[in-house]
Every structure is written in structure tokens, then in C-alpha cells.
Amino acid sequence: MTLTLSEAGQNVVAGTFGRAMKRAGEALGSMSGQVIEVQTPQLQRCTAADVLTMAGGPESIVLAVYVCILGSLQGHALLLFSPSDAHRLAQILLAGLLGPGELPMESTTDPLSYDELELSALQEAGNVTISAFLNEIGMHLHEPVQPTPPQIVIEMAGAVLDAVLLDLVNDADQVLAARTTFSEGGRAIDGTLFVLPRADSLRVLLDALGALGI
């Protein structure tokens, strides 16, 4: 079942993402002691099949922060980065927390090797970003959305995504995907935020936002 959104409806959804990312930036800023902006210049609804393409293809390596969404709204949320962008984001987040001499060195030989501190910072970045969106939704639903603790996976995109894609019943435009840019000073890091509601939850989500029937 494909739910059609008018232009006004699409603007409502885009506004929700925008507000959520502003909050995410504020939370990451207070966590790291830096001024961090999170923007979603591109928001789109796409099919499950498009997700793999947006992630760079099934064999491209990604760092993914995954949260399972439970409660009245059910589904999955993932924040994906390329390995190099993930390293750069971790360095920005940790720079405000640690002194220059205490920063973990970025591995020059293995881009898939992450310091424990880097993983912790990235897990929190994913958690904050996804939670900001879910909190925004929860305000409209008038009941909390229940996310699980975040899980970090560094793997082929296909391997990370197939488990959540097959949980979507059909190939309709079920997925909300947002290109997400984290920026601090002159540095910008690209990620992609996917919100994948289960079968009936997309209607619940869009309805709660007031994006349907306008």
C-alpha cells in the first residue's frame, strides 16, 4: 500500500526531520562541547530496493548505528556513514571532550579499525540523532516511542540492511531517507538516516504528524 502525500504533507515531514536534526545538533554540541549543526538537506520517501542503492550498493562497507523501534510505532532506524566519514565524525566529537594529546590516532593502515572511544562516540551520535527524530514523533503521537539501545555494526551494507528490509512487508514507498550532514566549523560529514516503519506504522507516523489528507 502506497500512501500518497501532497506537497504540503511532504513539507510537514521535512519540517519534522528539520526540527529533530536541530535538536540532535544541540545535544551533540552539549555532549562534545562544540558547536555542531545537523542538517537534512535532502529528504525522500523511497522503496526498500532504493535503500541499498542509497547506501552505496550491497557490498559497500558502512558503519551503521541501528535502533529497533518498539511500541505504538514499530520499525527500524539506521544512521549510516562511510568508514572514513565515521572516523572524521568521531574525531570531531571527541576533540571537544579530550585534549589534543588524548585523541585516539586515526589508523592509516586499516580504515575499519576503530578505537573504543571512537565507537562509543559514534554510537552516541547515532543514538542522539535517531532519538531526536523519535522524540519529535512521540510528541505528535502523545505517547513515547520506545527505541532499543543502539547497536553499531561495521559491515557490508547489504548484510546490515537485509534483515530490516525483509521486515517490511512490501515494496511500497515505506522508507523515509534523509541525507544528513554533520558540520562543525568548516568540516562537514555526510551520513544517511533511514527510518523504516513496519507495515502499518507508516500510516500511524504520517497521520500523527498531520501529513495525511492536507
Partner 1 sequence: MTLAESPSLLVAGIGEMVLSSSPHDHLVAYGLGSCIALAVWDPRAKIGGLAHFMLPSGPANNGSPVKFIDAGIDTFLHALESKGAVLTRSTLKAAGAAAMLTVGSGLAIGKRNAEAMQAALTERGLNLTATALGGNTGRTVQLEVADGRFLIKSLSSVTEL
- The C-alpha atoms of residue 192 and residue 21 are separated, in whole angstroms, by 12
Min dist. Cβ of residue 136 to partner 1 (A): 21
- The C-alpha atoms of residue 204 and residue 197 are separated, in whole angstroms, by 9
User: Binding to partner 1 by residue 132, rule CB under 8 A?
Assistant: no
Region binding partner 1 by CB under 8 A among candidate stretches 126-134, 143-151, 179-187, 189-197: 143-151
Do 130 and 193 contact (CB within 8 A), yes or no?
yes
CB nearer to partner 1: pick between 42 and 113: 113
Helix/strand number for the chain, H first, E second: 6, 7
- The C-alpha atoms of residue 6 and residue 194 are separated, in whole angstroms, by 21
Task: Return the residue of 20, 36, 80, 161 that touches partner 1, per CB under 8 A.
Answer: 161
User: Binding to partner 1 by residue 70, rule CB under 8 A?
Assistant: yes
Region binding partner 1 by CB under 8 A among candidate stretches 114-122, 149-157, 173-181, 203-211: 149-157
C-alpha cell of residue 129 = 540523532
For residue 85, the SS3 value is helix
User: Which residues contribute to the site for partner 1 (CB under 8 A)?
Assistant: 52, 57-59, 61, 66-68, 70, 76, 112, 148-151, 153-167, 171
